[in-house]
């Protein structure tokens, strides 16, 4: 399990502005933000939208330690909140938490599953059921793991892997400590059974099945031998 490298990020100081000025800033390709914490006053900043989009696309945006350069100074920060447009998902505002070197933080770290193709359960048609794609960890700000590696190479159908089976770096532990929570399991395959409905067959008086559109001959309509009776209805005799 490797520790996250410090990524570089540039920002500019921005003056507190009106909503109209903030919208104009976004149209020009900048995202307003703020840096807070660390026992210092908050700083209003702006970050290039294109750069922010690249960092989001890399994955692990909220667990990556950044060295944020602002007005000739550099701060170690973690992204804590990113507001996005409800339709376009374009970033609207970003918050960064300023950290001291010895700060302890809670951070969501992505889970990576190893040796899935070697799992006996998966080989027999089982399905990997991922319960947690991230695990919230407590660690030093300068020792954030890039990922949590979970080996599932020996899981059979019905088996699961819990957090106690995961080897974490020294000084790193899960936020949840009151239970041994499940990260993933291998479930039995779901077999779709096609139900065939039996057709109800109507039988005639002779015990033979009645075909749609046909009826068995009965007395009163045909003769005893199935021959049609002559028409005895009165009509014109001319």
DSSP letters along 31-52, please? EEEEEE-TTS--EEEEEEHHHH
Pick the CATH number of 7-100 from 2.40.50.140, 2.40.240.10, 3.40.1180.10, 3.30.450.40: 2.40.240.10
Its CATH class, for the domain covering 106-187, is: mainly beta
pLDDT score for 146? 86
The single residue listed with the structure tokens 């990524």 is 7
Reference 137, options 62, 82, 66; nearest CA is: 62
The single residue listed with the structure tokens 């059974």 is 193
Reference 11, options 105, 96, 81; nearest CA is: 96
pLDDT score for 202? 64
d(CA 164, CA 161): 8
Reference 135, options 125, 127, 143, 145; nearest CA is: 145
d(CA 73, CA 70): 5
Residue 175 per-residue DSSP state: S
All residues at 6 or more sequence positions from 217 whose CB lies less than 8 Å from its CB, including other chains: 226
pLDDT averaged over 10-residue windows placed end to end, the chain, 238 residues: 75 83 90 92 94 87 91 92 91 92 87 95 94 94 88 95 93 94 93 50 63 52 48 48
pTM of the model: 0.63
Helices (H), the chain: 19-27, 49-57, 120-123
Domain boundaries, the chain: 7-100, 106-187
């Amino acid at each position: 399990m490797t520790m996250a490298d410090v990524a570089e990020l540039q920002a500019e100081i921005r003056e507190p502005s009106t909503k109209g000025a903030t919208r104009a800033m976004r149209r020009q390709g900048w995202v307003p933000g703020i840096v807070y914490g660390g026992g210092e006053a908050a700083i209003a900043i702006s970050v290039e939208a294109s750069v922010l989009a690249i960092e989001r696309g890399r994955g692990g945006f909220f667990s990556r330690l950044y060295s944020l350069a602002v007005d000739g100074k550099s701060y170690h920060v973690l992204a804590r909140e990113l507001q996005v447009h409800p339709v376009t998902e374009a970033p609207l505002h970003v918050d960064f938490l300023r950290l001291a070197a010895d700060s302890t933080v809670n951070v969501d770290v992505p889970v990576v599953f190893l040796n899935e193709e070697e799992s006996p359960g998966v080989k027999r048609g089982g399905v990997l059921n991922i319960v947690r794609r991230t695990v919230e960890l407590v660690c030093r700000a300068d020792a954030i793991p890039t990922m949590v590696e979970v080996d599932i190479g020996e899981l059979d159908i019905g088996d699961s892997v819990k957090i106690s089976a995961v080897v974490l770096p020294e000084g790193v532990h899960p936020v949840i400590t009151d239970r041994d929570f499940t990260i993933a399991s291998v479930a039995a395959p779901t077999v779709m059974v096609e139900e065939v409905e039996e057709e109800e067959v109507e039988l005639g008086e002779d015990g033979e099945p009645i075909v749609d559109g046909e009826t068995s001959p009965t007395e009163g309509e045909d003769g005893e031998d199935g021959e049609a009776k002559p028409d005895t209805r009165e009509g014109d005799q001319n």
